[in-house]
Amino acid sequence: MKGENFIPLACTLTAEQLREGRGDLLPGLMERADEVSELKNGVQLRFAPRPGLLVELAGVIEREQTCCQFLSFRLEVAPQAAVVLEVTGPEGTRELLRSLYK
């Protein structure tokens, strides 16, 4: 049942917009990740720490929130460890994200 807070599992970008902006969105970020692992309801991306990485991740998160409002983001930054970004959402999110990562 869909409540009043229901957010559909859909991206508002056209196929052309997604293709043109791929590098600045999750597909490009997934390609640049050192490791991509599947979660029950999404994916986990791991990155070696480097200057500018957190700004890059924040930019992608901000852009994705405008076109894929169903996504949730969790960023973990620890001393001398990989930077971990978890991208999750409702049922079907993992499969949708998997289809973007080619």
Kindly state whether residue 94 falls inside one of the protein's structural domains. Answer: yes
Contact yes or no for 54/61 (Cβ under 8 A): no
Q: Would you state the pLDDT for residue 1? A: 47
pLDDT, tens digit (0-9, with 9 covering 90-100), for 50-66: 999 999 999 999 999 98
pLDDT, tens digit (0-9, with 9 covering 90-100), for 10-42: 788 877 887 788 788 999 999 999 999 999 999
Q: Which two tokens stand for residue 36?
A: 């991509």
Kindly state whether residue 36 falls inside one of the protein's structural domains. Answer: yes
Kindly state whether residue 50 falls inside one of the protein's structural domains. Answer: yes
Is residue 3 over pLDDT 60? no
Kindly state whether residue 54 falls inside one of the protein's structural domains. Answer: yes
The pLDDT-based confidence of 91 (bands split at 50, 70, 90) is very high
Q: What is residue 35's DSSP assignment?
A: E
Q: Would you state the pLDDT for residue 70? A: 93
Kindly state whether residue 1 falls inside one of the protein's structural domains. Answer: no
Considering the entire predicted model, what is its pTM? 0.87
**By C-alpha distance, which of 74, 89, 84, 82 is closest to 10?**
89
Kindly state whether residue 14 falls inside one of the protein's structural domains. Answer: no
- Tell me how many domains the chain contains: 1
Kindly state whether residue 17 falls inside one of the protein's structural domains. Answer: no
